[in-house]
A = this chain, B = another copy of it.
Amino acid sequence: MNAHQIVEAVLFAADAPLTADEIARADESLDEDQVEQAIRYLKAEYDDAERSFQIAEIAEGYQILTRPEFAPYLERFDNVARPSRLSGPALETLAIIAYRQPLGRIEIEYVRGVGAAGVLKTLQDRELIDVVGRGEGLGRPVLYGTTQKFLEHFGLKSLEDLPRPEELPVVLRERTPLGPEEPNADQLSLGGEVSAECGPGDEAPEVVESGVEAHPAPEMEGGERPTE
């Protein structure tokens, strides 16, 4: 039995992305490096043979998925499960959480200007976000963060895949700043600060603290998914 065959069998039988480390558990003879080597080998094989599927890198792991070109054929089948799409409010709420995690409901509501309780429950039940801690304030509010499933749902390799705030074409920012003063660098100004100085064409100025935390270390080790 070759290493790449074992890796293929495991990937083929898995229902979610697996990290190299996880795959290596299939056999004593395998280590992480060998798994990664096997994956490179398989990727090349699939390309050469023009397989209809490929090995995608998602959520710091690997998963076999069909190539996008085949979607039109597959969408016709009832036997092919399609994940349901998220609503606009759900996407906006996720965007806020992805960039600012961990943060609480009040902050999320302030950013969007609308209530968030219902959306948060929905996102939690879909396991796209979870409670990751509690804040300091009154009543020690629950703080939310994104999950492994979040990365899986959007096909992201990691949170690093999200664009940095400075990279986004934000129309309003092209204007001149409001005043010379430092904008209030409180917890609520993800984009505000960045925007004050940097026109879209410029290099990002020295990274502002809160803006940079845009990609905080996600506390999600592969092995520790929430149950369910």
Residues of B within 8 A of A12 (CB): 52-53, 64, 66
Q: Which residue of B lies closest to A70 (CB)?
A: B9
Contact yes or no, A227 B126, CB < 8 A = yes
Binds B, one of A79-87, A100-108, A187-195, A200-208: A79-87
When the two chains form their complex, are residues A226 and B87 in contact, meaning their CB atoms are under 8 A apart?
yes
Chain B residues near A13: list those with CB within 8 A. Answer: 66, 74, 77, 79-80
Q: Which of A125-141 contact B (CB under 8 A)?
A: 125-127, 130-131
> Which B residues lie within 8 Å of A161 (CB)?
none
A226 to chain B, nearest CB (A): 3
Determine if A168 is an interface residue (Cβ-Cβ < 8 Å): no
Check A73 against B10 for contact (C-beta < 8 Å).
Answer: yes
Chain B residues closer than 8 Å to A22, beta-carbon distance: 77
CA distance A15 to B77 in the complex (A): 10
Determine whether the beta carbon of A73 is less than 8 Å from that of B27.
yes
**Given A13-B74, A79-B18, A114-B121: A8 touches B52 (CB 8 Å cut-off):** yes
Across the interface, do A118 and B52 meet the contact criterion of CB distance under 8 Å? no
Contact with B along A190-228 (1 / 0, CB 8 A): 000000000000000000000000000000000111111
Residues of chain B within 8 A of A50, CB atoms compared: 2, 5
A77: which of B25, B88, B115 is its contact (CB, 8 Å)?
Answer: B25
Q: Are A112 and B121 in touch, CB under 8 angstroms?
A: yes
Central interface residue in A74, A80, A91, by most chain B CB within 10 Å: A80
Q: Which residues of A contact B (CB under 8 A)?
A: 1-2, 5-6, 8-10, 12-16, 18, 22-23, 25-27, 45, 49-53, 64, 66-67, 69-70, 73-74, 76-77, 79-91, 112-115, 117-119, 121-122, 124-127, 130-131, 142, 223-228
Q: What would be 10 A-B contacts, judged by CB atoms less than 8 Å apart?
A: A1-B73, A2-B50, A12-B64, A13-B79, A13-B80, A84-B227, A87-B130, A88-B130, A119-B125, A121-B228
A1-B69, A12-B66, A26-B74 are known contacts; what are 10 more A-B pairs with Cβ within 8 Å? A2-B50, A6-B52, A6-B73, A8-B52, A15-B79, A15-B81, A26-B73, A85-B224, A88-B130, A112-B121
